[in-house]
Structure 1
Amino acid sequence: MTKSIGTWRVASKKDADTLVEWYRDFEVETGIDRCSTQAQATQQIMKFLDNKEVYVWEVDGAVVSCMKKSRPSKNGITVSFVFTPKAQRGKGYARTLVAEITNELLVEYDFVMLYTDLDNKTSNKIYRTIGYEQIANPVHLVFKKQ
């Protein structure tokens, strides 16, 4: 795998405004049936940052991609909120970030898993390229009050 230019780091509060914008874009682009208000997204991102759960890929001092670790258990952890804004896509930033952080997480955990949109052929190809294997096809159900 070819590594993209740049480096990763744990996100900090200086990244908060960018991450809030990306969080809201992520919700829209993934079709998640909730769209956070600015205040809700800010609260969520600040929680992630306080817990040191978000990683960013940086090129020449600019943050160009992000991902989050979540749901740690005794043996494993999940990768989520993998996002690159449209202007930065196609440069391998998310692929390199996910690959490098996955390797870091595997030092501490027996396995790392992620959920992906099965209809997104690009991201699924990338995840397979860096070593992820499909093991299940979960269904996301939402119950609404009637």
Structure 2
Amino acid sequence: MSGEHSTAAGLAVSWQRRTGAAARLVQRKRLYALGELSVPEPSPEGRARVAGFGDRELLMRWYDAFKEAVGQSAGQGAGPWAEARITQGGVTLWETADGEPVSMAGVSPESAGQVRVAPVYTPAHLRGRGYAGAVTAEVSRTAVAGGAAHVLLFTDLANPTSNALYQRIGYRKVTDFAVWGFGD
């Protein structure tokens, strides 16, 4: 079960009291909203480009790697996810000057003036070079330019690197969420 931190914690305690099922906090998340975008400087060498059908296999691999890295086993499969995001133009890649993709950021379709950035992924051996910041800034800029009133993203509070990065780009805390598990 996932929800705003204090509400979810209250429900978990009540559920445990009512059913006797053990409740445990699985993950703490933070919801951020873009304030004033601040593009990271210096920008890494390369450029952003929207992923196309020729990137499908790469996106599928990176989506599965992202899910594994964050401990997410359920949800949409990599193939359907890649197809849907490519069709809507919902994944941007950062590629080096020689055209090698090194990071990705996905965005949801705009709904009620909101766009959600997710997932953001850079393979482990390419991290620490500014690629995730650059591609996240680019999808954020594009969402605002496209008319989104609110650009949102979630982070795992156990990952100080991503939390610091998003704040440097201009994201500001909205509220904290908690994910609870029940049973043994």
Cα displacement (A) at 1:42 = 1.6
Taking structure 1 as reference, are residues 35 and 134 closer, same or farther at Cα in structure 2, changes over 3 Å only? Answer: same
Alignment of 1:6 with 2:56, yes or no, is: no
Determine the structure 2 residue equivalent to 1:129. 168
Moved over 2 A (4+): 33-36, 139-144
**Structure 1 residue 79 and structure 2 residue 111: aligned?**
no
Greater RCO, CA 8 A, separation 6+: 2
* 8 Å contact from structure 1 (residues 67, 80) kept in 2: yes
Normalising by structure 2, we get a TM-score of: 0.71
**Matches for 1:49-64 after TM superposition, within 5 Å:** 49-59=86-96, 60-64=98-102
User: Is 2:41 the counterpart of 1:41?
Assistant: no
- Give the root-mean-square deviation of aligned CA atoms: 1.9
Between 94-103 and 119-128, report the one with greater CA deviation: 94-103
Is 1:28–1:35's contact at 8 Å kept on the other side of the alignment?
Answer: no
- State percent identity of aligned pairs: 32
CA contact (8 A) 1:27 1:35 kept: no
Within the candidate set 41, 55, 76, 1:15 is matched to 55
Unmatched segments (≥5 aa) in structure 1:
none
**Structure 1 position 25, deviation (Å):** 0.6
Q: TM-score, normalised by structure 1?
A: 0.88
Structure showing greater radius of gyration is 2
